[in-house]
Amino acid sequence: MPLLRVQLESDPATARRVLEMHQKNKVHHESRDAARAEVWRRGRTPAGEPFFVGVTNGKPVRLLYDVEVYPEVES
- Return mean pLDDT, the chain: 93
- Nearest 5°: the CA angle 53, 57, 59 is 120
User: What is the pTM assigned to this prediction?
Assistant: 0.90
pLDDT tens for the 75 residues of the chain, in order: 899 999 999 999 999 999 999 999 999 999 999 999 999 999 999 999 999 999 999 889 999 999 999 987 654
CA gap 69, 19 in Å, rounded = 23
- What pLDDT score was predicted for residue 1? 83
20 CB-near residues (< 8 Å, 6+ apart) = none
